[in-house]
Structure 1
Amino acid sequence: MAIYHPHPADLRRRFWTTSLYLASTLVEIWWWEVVLPYRFRLGFLNRNAVERRQGWAKEYRDFALRMGGVWIKLGQFFSSRADVLPPDITAILADLQDEVQPVPWFAIEEQIIRELQARPEQVFADFDKTAKAAASLGQVHFARLHTGEEVAVKVQRPGIRAIIEVDLRALRGAINTLKNISFIRRRVKLDALYEEFAATLRLELDYVAEARHAEQFAENFKDDPHVDLPRPYWPLTTVRILTLERILGIKINEYEALERAGISRAEVAEKMFSVYLKQVFEDGFFHADPHPGNLFIRPRGESGRRVNRSFDLVFIDFGMVGHISERSRALMRRMVIATVQRDYAELIRLSKELGFLLPEADNRALIAALETLFDRYYGMSMAELTSIDYAEVEQLIQQFRDIIYDFPFQIPQDFIFLGRTLGILSGIATGLDPQFSPLGGLEPFARRLIGAEAVGAIGEAAREASELAVLLVALPRRLDRLLRRIEDGDLAEEAVQPALDRLEGIEGAFNRLTDTIMLIGFSAGWYFTREEEGRISYSMIAGAAWMIWRQLKGRR
């Protein structure tokens, strides 16, 4: 991509070049992957499918490197999907993480002068004119401030805003074509997907917003000493220039370098997974572009240590972020608990409430499918899952052909970027540790959630009990005033009985609430002592059973 200040004629040419490439590629994929094998039953023609798909990957890589802009970002996403794409495909697309050509120095220097109103040598004590990293929207140069601090300066590519708008127009054309396919239109709100993608991409072009994102992440992880986030230098930051603290590290997919440094790849995968669990389920604010070029590992401790060396996880590039509402996070936390507890009915109910399943989906068929899948594959590593025999997959397809035919799944708009992020993370984790199991990583997190919910329930019950206690403390005075008014003739006797009935109801409610608090306490006590103290655990079970019996007796 060698356009620095694109002319309108260049932009028109780019639009038609991109649109024709997308149209021809979609038609070719549709013909070979759908029409021939499924419409004409000519699957035997797919004997060269591997070579053909590799050819598509090479064509797309060359196209993206030539055109830049949006297309590099899409290629980086697919290059990180080692969990669903074969290694020979991801290896071809991996070039998009490193081979983006930087803009020449003269264009970068002009951009700095326009934004900072000064030449680089006036603002910085030292500025490396060679780009250390080049991406689709900008490139990074290392520099040193006059105060001696080492910084990384991210400079936006000149003319990239006009290029992005042209690419988005071409992408809109491709989406309008895909909307004609009822199967896709029914399950993905393509217009909403496009609007959210476009809005996020435009936000990435605002480096002031990116600096604020970096500060927000730093605040969220201030209590985790093993997560590093560079701080921005605001006097040297504008919409098109971002100056951040310089933090060096090993790229997360440089496996040999990690091993030479004594870093456990499995521990890196676990740390990355736990950090994202916090971002998604607790903060509701997550780094939505975690491709390997944006994640680094910084070794700690003695440089001579070669086994199980501690490390920090370093994030850079905070342009693309995602948000999750508190309601969605609460439902997702319950889904984690239901997954670990294998509560299939609850999983399906929550999936419908979140919008992952169509309302008319057959619950019984889905429960049967989940039972089979969990029994066979729960706890498997990604390596084991990807090595499942094709005959077994065909058997599953036959067994659940009704569900597959109906395909009652959809992608809610709020989860589009979360799905993309989890897809990339799954690929990175698999590359780091083929034995990594996402469900295995969820179990300790789910136990913590269960404990937190139990404590929360006790706290809520205690709050209600305190409110009732305040009311009951005031009851004697109020009752005394009520009786005096009856004696003085100020209140008819028939008007008193409903009030007394209400008082009895309040007393009964208080008794039931007290029993409920004790039941929750016994249940929580059993949960936390079930593995360590046998007799204490049995006592907790007995106490919970007694409380249940009291409540059932009280309802008779």
Structure 2
Amino acid sequence: MPADQSTQKQHGEEAQRTSSVASHRVPRAVDAVPGAPSSLAPSERYQLTRVGRRARIGQIFKLARTYEVWRGLTPERMRSLIEDLGPMFVKMGQILATRSEILPQEYCDELGRLRTEVEPVPFSVVRDCLEAEYGIAPEHVFAWIAEHPLGSASLAQVHRARLVTGEDVAVKVQRPGAQQIMAQDIDIMRSLARHVSRFMRSEQVIDFTGVVEELWQSFREETNFLMEAKNLEEFYDLHVGVPNISCPRPYTAYCTEHIVVMDYIEGISVEDPATLRAAGFRLHDIGSQIVEDYAQQVLDDGFFHADPHAGNIIVSGGVIYFIDLGMVGRMGGHDRSLVQEMIFSIARGNVADLKDALMRFAVSRGDSSELDHAAFLTDLDYIVSDFAARDLQDLDVGGLFNALVNLARKNDVELPSVVTMFARGLVTLEGLLSEYLPDVNMIEIIARHMSRSTNPVSAAQEMASELKTDSWKALKSSLVAAGQLDLASRMLTRGQLKINTQLLGSEQVLRHIGGIIDRLSMAIVVAGLFIGSSVVYYAKIEPVIFGIPVIGFLGYSSALVLALGLGREIWRNSHGK
């Protein structure tokens, strides 16, 4: 990649420029804008009502009838339908655009246009949004704002502008009503997930409730632009000493929950490799630097871009800029070390180490004793046989983590959401590599990064820091346990101590024991009916029909029916049904 000698100078000028802006505050009307997430309940904050839910469901069905989805959809009609359905469906369409194993390639290509070709809202609406957020006319904040947006997405659109203090900026404005529509759609999905979960067994591959809750958490973070401004600032600070990698720096004084003001970066999107090549850039160098930095984000910083598709990366003046940090992932030192263990366990074909690392990473749903470890290891064998036979540089890390996520769900093991975000990010970057690094696998670059970053001194320092934190937690827990033990001892001496016990074990075994007890009880009832009916028969208790007491006849009949039913259950149980 051609190096720009003015890059460092450019960074210095930007730092001075943004520091001067930090001292300038928008008028007090802006400070009065509520920024932090409201403490109101979601139903009140996002205006979620039963009437609104029914109206939204009616809109969805109306659009389905308009597009006649039961007759099939062409790629173009599917994209148009998704755009009309609203921002949440557009977001899902963007995810599906990267999943060619789910949809044919022509559908993925068409849905890929949802990233940048969403119909923009009129500029008059944007201006009204700015005035509503700031409480003053936009002319008091911006010297001018371009009416035509730089880009329009499902949630927001970006306009170029200039502050009254003279700085060129990009203004990201959230679409009016998008937050409420997305909240309403997720609320509908939540209701559907609750009903569906009643009919889904625990061994089903997809945990609908967990997926929807993860979607809800992602929605809350992505629609709060103050959080995105904080992410931009943190990403910028982490890359101050990193050559040729950065992000637009936010102007926090002008940011609200629905507006982000950041540096305007004019460059070439990596979606356009032909233009980059014509400008003299080497695609191989760009791709290598992107993957190298992504490895640093995940494995060193523990703070990474969770949606690194080509539209969110631009090149300007020899510097690669990551933009749109609405979705980020965070990993602690412990999680980062487990990710490395999992990758190398797969490469070495060591199923035991892979299982150990995965189980230390995972959070099991329900009682961990119910996990079928034999079946879990068998599934891991399939993954190892698929991936471990390859050389390290040929290992498909994106496919690997997707396989592990599916494996975890199948075995009723819940992985942290950060693993899913990491896996999605790797799959997205691998799509970029097909154009920029056709002969190099991403894991090769990540492996080199891990080998270079393995510094014994820093590793020892990080381990010592984690040991210090764990020791403090252990000491605190010990003090709490000592206090509880003292309380238990005093209650024991006073005769006030009560002990609750719980039998832990397989529910299947307990149900089997319960079935045995039920059948034994039924056998006793049958025997009692037979003996009681015999006593009535010999006593000739009236009324009598054909020489048989009616009560005795009913007792014999009941005993016969129950005995036949009991025999049937015993036979089915003995034949494993």
Name the aligned partner's letter for residue 72 of structure 1: V
* 1:393 corresponding residue in structure 2: none
Name the aligned partner's letter for residue 332 of structure 1: V
Deviations 1:209-239 (A, max 9, x none): 2111111111221211211211111232111
Aligned to 1:297, the other structure's residue is in SS state strand
The answer to whether the aligner puts 1:270 opposite 2:273 as a matched pair is: no
Pick aligned residue for 1:412 from 399, 415, 437: 415
* 1:70 corresponding residue in structure 2: 88
Shift of the alpha carbon at 1:264? 2.5
Shift of the alpha carbon at 1:299? 4.5
The answer to whether the aligner puts 1:220 opposite 2:262 as a matched pair is: no
* 1:200 corresponding residue in structure 2: 218
Deviations 1:394-435 (A, max 9, x none): xxxxxxxxx99x954855143232333233223233343343
Shift of the alpha carbon at 1:71? 1.0
The answer to whether the aligner puts 1:319 opposite 2:326 as a matched pair is: yes
Residues 185/431 of structure 1: CA separation in 2 closer, same or farther (3 Å cut): farther
* 1:378 corresponding residue in structure 2: 391
TM-score (norm 2): 0.61
The answer to whether the aligner puts 1:120 opposite 2:142 as a matched pair is: no
Percentage of matched positions with identical amino acids: 26
Deviations 1:91-134 (A, max 9, x none): 11111112211111111111111112222223212211111111
Residues 432/171 of structure 1: CA separation in 2 closer, same or farther (3 Å cut): farther
Name the aligned partner's letter for residue 386 of structure 2: L
Q: Which has the larger radius of gyration?
A: 2
Higher mean C-alpha displacement, 285-294 vs 332-341 = 332-341
* 1:164 corresponding residue in structure 2: 182
Residues 173/458 of structure 1: CA separation in 2 closer, same or farther (3 Å cut): closer
Shift of the alpha carbon at 1:183? 7.0
Structure 2: gaps spanning 5 or more residues: 1-45, 365-370, 400-405, 468-577
Pick aligned residue for 2:437 from 433, 438, 445: 433
Shift of the alpha carbon at 1:181? 6.8
Residues 75/170 of structure 1: CA separation in 2 closer, same or farther (3 Å cut): same
Pick aligned residue for 1:448 from 445, 452, 477: 452
Pick aligned residue for 2:55 from 2, 13, 28: 13
Shift of the alpha carbon at 1:242? 1.2
Q: Distance in 1 between matches of 2:173 and 2:462?
A: 50
Shift of the alpha carbon at 1:142? 0.3
Aligned to 2:173, the other structure's residue is in SS state strand
Residues 210/363 of structure 1: CA separation in 2 closer, same or farther (3 Å cut): closer
Count the aligned residue pairs.
Answer: 403
* 2:425 corresponding residue in structure 1: 421
Structure 1: gaps spanning 5 or more residues: 29-50, 301-311, 387-402, 465-556
Pick aligned residue for 2:335 from 321, 328, 336: 328
Deviations 1:257-278 (A, max 9, x none): 1221222323322222222212
Q: Distance in 1 between matches of 2:378 and 2:47?
A: 55
| Equivalent residues of 2:118, 2:152 under 8 A apart | yes
Aligned to 2:373, the other structure's residue is in SS state coil
* 1:175 corresponding residue in structure 2: 193
Shift of the alpha carbon at 1:298? 2.3
Q: Distance in 2 between matches of 1:378 and 1:189?
A: 33
Residues 329/285 of structure 1: CA separation in 2 closer, same or farther (3 Å cut): same
Name the aligned partner's letter for residue 391 of structure 2: Y
Residues 255/278 of structure 1: CA separation in 2 closer, same or farther (3 Å cut): same
Q: Distance in 1 between matches of 2:291 and 2:438?
A: 14
Q: Distance in 2 between matches of 1:276 and 1:373?
A: 25
Aligned to 2:357, the other structure's residue is in SS state helix
Shift of the alpha carbon at 1:246? 0.6
The answer to whether the aligner puts 1:94 opposite 2:107 as a matched pair is: no
Q: How does 1:514-533 map to 2 (within 5 A)?
A: none
Shift of the alpha carbon at 1:440? 1.8
Higher mean C-alpha displacement, 106-115 vs 191-200 = 191-200
Q: Distance in 1 between matches of 2:282 and 2:412?
A: 37
| Equivalent residues of 2:131, 2:138 under 8 A apart | yes
Residues 377/123 of structure 1: CA separation in 2 closer, same or farther (3 Å cut): same
Q: Distance in 2 between matches of 1:420 and 1:441?
A: 18
Higher mean C-alpha displacement, 262-271 vs 451-460 = 451-460
Shift of the alpha carbon at 1:323? 2.0
Residues 98/413 of structure 1: CA separation in 2 closer, same or farther (3 Å cut): same
Q: Distance in 2 between matches of 1:144 and 1:295?
A: 23
Aligned to 1:125, the other structure's residue is in SS state strand
Q: Distance in 1 between matches of 2:330 and 2:378?
A: 33
* 2:373 corresponding residue in structure 1: 360
Residues 380/232 of structure 1: CA separation in 2 closer, same or farther (3 Å cut): closer
